[in-house]
């Protein structure tokens, strides 16, 4: 039925409830006790879980009834088992309330009904356009894609807590450092490999637990009126620590995954000691305490607060597209792109990645989906909507990228992107020790 019917019914039950006199085999613990949400047809289990969460939030917010999500909806393993929650009934609740907030229980349980071919994606990429892409996959294969969108941290937390019960098949997110760290937590499994994946993705951009599906470079943007060609000549990430940039550099905070991965690549190439010294030099050169996202760094150069900024390639194109407003579009026109390390290993590359989640219930469908994401059709969709570089050969980036950033640069294909996760802790350590906020 309608959400509003449920809401009304809960309100009535709350008014009518006589809580102290209820006993029996399943002692209720509140006005409503259990509200089951069961996928029967036309809705997936994951959609039911999402529904239970949104109803639970509304009940909590508007009726002021503590809500407890259990079984498949549980947000914590300790709150999964219903009998544990009901233990002691209403009379025992007082004591238990100190530990748990329980009053109403919302339930989603596994339907024994047959589930059609499907694949469950936990998606941390914030691109609306990706959903269109997944429906193309469904049209082609008949495999339904259940998309759970969220921030990387929240999705990872949920998969970790759900453990073996998680319905997640694929985790799609930005940055090899994130996929690598998730693998290091034991949350992924091998087998994300097939002749199609091998043929599409160069080996430095994949492991058999996760693979790149699009590329980006982390580059330098500069103000052409304040930075000379001579100053830029031969610029490397390493030389960002050169005192000639004192007070002229902006880059975001050390906690940002793109920076952790960039610095991890420096640890991998130059060692931890050298990178620790480098980080001190970079901090000494900062025009301000790190603040804002990548686009904010480009804005700072455009506004004259700094002469050079470090940011990913697709952000300049995104700003130029006008999708982020006229102010950012104008700012983007004031800076120029520069690719560091052209005379040695090449510019730092990163990926959007898809990881095969441990215990994935639809493993073969997950592999099929990744293979689809690596077809020219899907790659074109990425390049046109997210302004990333394609993972595969033979597909052109967006004209905004080609014309304003360029293609003719040497990529670092030597440093395996799996080292970004492996060296992540070292990277954060050296940045923190240098006072990099
Ligand atoms: Fe980004």
* CB neighbour burial string for 139-174, b if at least 16 within 10 angstroms, e if fewer: eeeebbbbbbbeebeebbebbebbeeebbbbbbbbb
Tokens of residue 149, six digits: 């969108």
Compute the average pLDDT of residues 6-14. Answer: 70
* Residue 321, SS3 per DSSP: coil
CB atoms within 10 A of CB 406: 14
Model pLDDT, residue 57:
78
Strands (E), 137-296: 144-149, 170-174, 210-222, 249-250
Res. 105 pLDDT band, cuts 50 70 90: low
Distance 200 CA to ligand 1 centre (A): 23
Model pLDDT, residue 310:
98
pLDDT per position as a tens digit, 250-296:
999 999 999 999 999 999 999 999 999 999 999 999 999 999 999 99
Distance 360 CA to ligand 1 centre (A): 26
Model pLDDT, residue 223:
98
Compute the average pLDDT of residues 347-365. Answer: 97
Distance 196 CA to ligand 1 centre (A): 27
The answer, yes or no, to whether residue 365 has pLDDT greater than 60, is: yes
Distance 175 CA to ligand 1 centre (A): 9
Asked if 355 and 188 touch (Cβ cutoff 8 Å), the reply is yes
Res. 9 pLDDT band, cuts 50 70 90: confident
Compute the average pLDDT of residues 394-411. Answer: 95
Distance 4 CA to ligand 1 centre (A): 38
Distance 176 CA to ligand 1 centre (A): 12
Smallest CA-to-CA distance from 180 within 425, 428, 429, 432 is with 425
Distance 84 CA to ligand 1 centre (A): 42
Model pLDDT, residue 129:
73
Most confident listed range (91-100, 156-165, 275-284): 275-284
Residue partners of 233: CB distance under 8 A and separation at least 6: none
Distance 170 CA to ligand 1 centre (A): 19
Model pLDDT, residue 73:
78
Distance 219 CA to ligand 1 centre (A): 13
Q: How far apart are CA 246 and CA 254, in angstroms?
A: 19
Q: How far apart are the first and last CA of the chain?
A: 50
The answer, yes or no, to whether residue 226 has pLDDT greater than 60, is: yes
The mean predicted confidence, pLDDT, of the chain is 88
Distance 204 CA to ligand 1 centre (A): 21
Model pLDDT, residue 25:
61
pLDDT per position as a tens digit, 19-70:
555 555 665 666 666 777 777 766 767 777 777 877 887 777 777 777 778 7
Distance 236 CA to ligand 1 centre (A): 22
The answer, yes or no, to whether residue 113 has pLDDT greater than 50, is: no
Distance 309 CA to ligand 1 centre (A): 15
Distance 19 CA to ligand 1 centre (A): 51
Distance 295 CA to ligand 1 centre (A): 9
Res. 110 pLDDT band, cuts 50 70 90: very low
Share of the chain above pLDDT 70, in %: 84
Q: How far apart are CA 127 and CA 125, in angstroms?
A: 6
Res. 214 pLDDT band, cuts 50 70 90: very high
CB atoms within 10 A of CB 402: 14
Distance 183 CA to ligand 1 centre (A): 21
Distance 292 CA to ligand 1 centre (A): 12
Give the Cα-Cα-Cα angle 82, 83, 86 (nearest 5 degrees): 90
The answer, yes or no, to whether residue 102 has pLDDT greater than 60, is: no
Model pLDDT, residue 251:
98
The answer, yes or no, to whether residue 437 has pLDDT greater than 60, is: yes
Res. 104 pLDDT band, cuts 50 70 90: very low
Distance 294 CA to ligand 1 centre (A): 8
* CB neighbour burial string for 414-423, b if at least 16 within 10 angstroms, e if fewer: ebbbbbbbbb
Model pLDDT, residue 409:
96
Please give the radius of gyration of the chain, using alpha carbons only, rounded to the nearest integer: 25
Distance 3 CA to ligand 1 centre (A): 35
Decide which of 16 and 233 is more confident. Answer: 233
Distance 256 CA to ligand 1 centre (A): 10
Q: Output the pTM of the full model.
A: 0.76
Distance 174 CA to ligand 1 centre (A): 7
Decide which of 120 and 7 is more confident. Answer: 120
Distance 257 CA to ligand 1 centre (A): 9
Res. 100 pLDDT band, cuts 50 70 90: very low
Distance 144 CA to ligand 1 centre (A): 27
Tokens of residue 150, six digits: 């969220």
Distance 159 CA to ligand 1 centre (A): 22
Distance 261 CA to ligand 1 centre (A): 13
Distance 85 CA to ligand 1 centre (A): 41
Distance 169 CA to ligand 1 centre (A): 23
Distance 388 CA to ligand 1 centre (A): 10
Distance 417 CA to ligand 1 centre (A): 17
Res. 246 pLDDT band, cuts 50 70 90: very high
Tokens of residue 396, six digits: 């052109």
């Amino acid at each position: 039925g309608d959400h509003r019917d449920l809401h009304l019914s809960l309100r009535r039950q709350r008014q009518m409830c006589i809580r102290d006199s209820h006993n029996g085999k399943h002692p209720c613990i509140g006005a409503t006790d259990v509200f089951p949400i069961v996928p029967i047809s036309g809705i997936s289990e994951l959609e039911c879980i999402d529904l239970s969460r949104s109803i639970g939030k509304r009940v909590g917010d508007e009726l002021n009834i503590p809500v407890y999500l259990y079984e498949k909806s549980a947000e914590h393993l300790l709150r999964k088992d219903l009998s544990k929650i009901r233990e002691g009934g209403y009379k025992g609740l007082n004591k238990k309330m100190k530990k748990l907030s329980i009053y109403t229980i919302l339930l989603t349980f596994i339907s024994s009904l047959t589930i059609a071919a499907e694949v469950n994606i936990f998606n941390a990429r914030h691109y609306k356009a990706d959903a269109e892409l997944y429906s193309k996959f469904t049209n082609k294969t008949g495999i339904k894609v259940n998309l759970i969108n969220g921030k990387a941290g929240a999705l990872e937390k949920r998969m970790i807590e759900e453990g073996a019960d998680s319905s997640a098949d694929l985790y799609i997110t930005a940055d090899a450092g994130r996929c690598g760290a998730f693998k290091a937590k034991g949350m992924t499994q091998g087998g994300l490999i097939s002749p199609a994946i091998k043929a599409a993705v160069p080996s430095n951009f994949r492991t058999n637990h996760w693979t790149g599906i699009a590329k980006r470079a982390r580059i330098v943007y500069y103000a052409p009126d304040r930075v000379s060609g001579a100053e830029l000549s031969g610029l490397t990430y390493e030389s960002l620590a050169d005192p000639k940039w004192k007070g002229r550099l902006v880059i975001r905070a050390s906690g940002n995954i793109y920076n952790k991965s960039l610095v991890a690549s420096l640890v991998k190439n130059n060692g931890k000691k050298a990178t620790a010294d480098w980080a001190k030099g970079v901090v000494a050169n900062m025009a301000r305490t790190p603040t804002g996202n990548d686009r904010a760094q480009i804005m700072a150069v455009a506004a004259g607060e700094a002469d050079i900024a470090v940011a990913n390639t697709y952000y300049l194109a995104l700003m130029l597209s006008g999708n982020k407003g006229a102010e950012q579009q104008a700012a983007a026109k004031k800076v120029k792109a520069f690719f560091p390390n052209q005379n040695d290993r090449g510019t730092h590359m990163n990926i959007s990645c898809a990881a095969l989640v441990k215990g994935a219930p639809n493993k073969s469908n997950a592999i099929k989906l990744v293979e689809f994401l690596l077809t020219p059709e899907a790659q074109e969709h990425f390049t046109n909507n997210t302004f990333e570089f394609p993972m595969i050969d033979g597909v052109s980036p967006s004209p905004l990228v080609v014309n304003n950033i360029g293609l003719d640069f040497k990529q670092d294909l030597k440093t395996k992107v799996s080292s970004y996760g492996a060296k992540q802790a070292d990277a954060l350590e050296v940045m923190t020790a240098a006072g990099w906020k």
